[in-house]
């Protein structure tokens, strides 16, 4: 029995933490279809014009299709 999976890539943002950015991505993706797994591809950040730190994280998300 063959199984098919979908892998998508998304970027999450948070002014709180990397963990919060990950949770934001997973929560939004899970609303569309159940998330089976995820892999953190990249962590980075920036300082915005107000001087606040913005955490950014890129995830690969896997979903079972069949």
Which band of pLDDT confidence, cut at 50, 70 and 90, is reported for residue 3?
confident
CA 39 to chain CA mean position, Å? 8
Residue 21: other Cβ atoms inside 10 A: 24
Position 66 scores a pLDDT of: 74
CA 7 remoteness from chain centre: 12
Per DSSP, helices labelled H in 1-66 are 18-32
Secondary structure class of 1 (helix, strand, coil): coil
pLDDT digits (tens, 9 = 90+) for 20-50: 999 999 999 999 999 999 999 999 999 989 9
Domain that holds residue 60: 5-64
Q: Residue 22 sits in a domain of what CATH number?
A: 3.30.1660.10
Domains in the chain, number? 1
């Amino acid at each position: 029995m063959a199984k098919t999976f979908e892998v998508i890539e998304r970027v999450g943002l948070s002014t709180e933490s990397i963990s919060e950015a990950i949770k934001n991505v997973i929560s939004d993706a899970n609303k569309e279809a159940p998330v089976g797994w995820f892999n953190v591809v990249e962590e980075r950040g920036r300082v915005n014009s107000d001087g606040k730190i913005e955490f950014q994280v890129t995830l690969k998300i896997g979903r079972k299709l069949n």
